[in-house]
């Protein structure tokens, strides 16, 4: 059974308490929280202040996806805000190993995200140090885009790398996940499905989450 991580980016921000209450009641496992800086990605979302509020509304795992440059400057701030999992982009981190150590030394789980064009082979020498790989299945920056089919091949390759070394690393798929493609993504070897639009634009988000969970 996959871990379901609805992305709050697609929520109605004028009714955040209701959206959080809905997720808390649902079978969602994690809150996926997308932080964008307008530099690493061409969009700005929200920062640690909002994550502090999300933290107070839920006991679910707060999975924070940093789409920002120089994420090392913000590791402590996001720990204080309440992140359980902190994911940084490989493309934003010339000193990725140091950043992973920073995250783990503060007691959070560490994730590495890859853009669609970044090969999974680049993870070879960091895979044993991390808890999660977030494979972007759209170009990061916006919700509501279509799933890039080549991601399925990347999931299979990464799954083989993880199995070969008997590691305990989760594969998270982020972007364009729908009720139509979720099964295929899980079959390819994914552990975590991030879903923004599919959950929040649904007429019955709780039922949609339940269906994703049952796949
Ligand atoms: C995109 C974000 C995603 C996004 C997914 O940069 O990382 O988490 O919210 O949204 P959907 O599920 O609508 O593609
Ligand atoms: Zn994300």
pLDDT 10s digits, 50-86: 999 999 999 999 999 999 999 999 999 999 999 999 9
Looking up tokens 């920056």 gives 141
Q: Which residues surround ligand 2, an ion (CB under 5 A)?
A: 34, 65, 174
Query: For a pocket test of ligand 1, which of 144, 178, 194, 209 has the largest count of ligand atoms closer than 8 A to its C-beta?
Result: 194
Bridge partners of residue 170, in order along the sequence: 132
Domains annotated on the chain, with CATH: 3-213 (3.20.20.70)
Is the shortest distance between the CB of 209 and ligand 1 below 6 Å? no
- For residues 202 and 78, what is the distance between their CA atoms, to the nearest angstrom? 30
The rounded Å distance from CA 97 to ligand 1 centre is 26
The per-residue pLDDT for 132 is 98
The per-residue pLDDT for 160 is 98
Give the model's confidence band at 89: pLDDT under 50 very low, under 70 low, under 90 confident, else very high: very high
The per-residue pLDDT for 84 is 98
> Quick one: which ligand is closest to 42's CA?
1
Report which protein residue has its CA nearest ligand 1's atom 10. 143
Is the shortest distance between the CB of 32 and ligand 1 below 6 Å? yes
DSSP notation for 134-189:
EEESS-TT-SSPPP-TTHHHHHHHHHHHHHHTT---EEEEESS--TTTHHHHHHHT
Give the model's confidence band at 163: pLDDT under 50 very low, under 70 low, under 90 confident, else very high: very high
Taking residues 19-37, what's their average pLDDT?
A: 98
Looking up tokens 């707060």 gives 62
The per-residue pLDDT for 187 is 98
Taking residues 96-121, what's their average pLDDT?
A: 98
The rounded Å distance from CA 38 to ligand 2 centre is 15
The per-residue pLDDT for 209 is 98
The per-residue pLDDT for 72 is 98
Is the shortest distance between the CB of 6 and ligand 1 below 6 Å? no
Catalytic one of 37, 131, 174, 191: 174
CA–chain centroid gap for 67, Å, is: 10
Q: What percentage of the chain has pLDDT greater than the value 70?
A: 100
Average pLDDT, the chain: 98
Instruction: Quote the tokens at residue 86.
Output: 């902190």
- CA distances in angstroms from 199 to 46, 117, 118, 202, 204, listed in the order given: 19, 26, 27, 5, 8
Ligand 1 atom at shortest distance from the alpha carbon of 144: 13
Kindly report the backbone phi and psi dihedral angles of residue 119, in degrees, each rounded to the nearest multiple of 5, phi listed first.
Answer: -70, 145
The per-residue pLDDT for 158 is 98
């Amino acid at each position: 059974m996959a871990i379901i991580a609805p992305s709050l980016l697609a929520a109605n921000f004028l009714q955040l308490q209701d959206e959080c209450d809905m997720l808390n009641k649902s079978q969602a496992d994690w809150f996926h929280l997308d932080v964008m800086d307008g530099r690493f990605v061409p969009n700005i979302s929200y920062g640690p202040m909002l994550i502090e509020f999300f933290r107070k509304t839920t006991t679910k795992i707060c999975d924070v996806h940093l789409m920002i440059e120089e994420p090392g400057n913000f590791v402590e701030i996001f720990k204080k805000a309440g992140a359980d999992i902190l994911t940084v982009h490989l493309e934003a981190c010339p000193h990725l190993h140091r950043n992973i150590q920073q995250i783990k030394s503060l007691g959070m789980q560490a994730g590495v995200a890859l853009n669609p064009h970044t090969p999974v082979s680049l993870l070879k020498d960091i895979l044993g140090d991390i808890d999660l790989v977030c494979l972007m299945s759209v170009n990061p920056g916006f919700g509501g885009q279509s799933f890039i089919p080549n991601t399925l091949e990347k999931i299979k390759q990464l799954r083989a790398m993880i199995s070969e070394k008997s590691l305990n690393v989760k594969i998270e798929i982020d972007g364009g996940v729908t009720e139509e493609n979720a099964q295929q993504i899980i079959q390819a070897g994914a552990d975590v499905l991030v879903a923004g639009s599919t959950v929040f634009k649904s007429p019955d988000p709780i039922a949609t989450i339940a269906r994703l969970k049952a796949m």
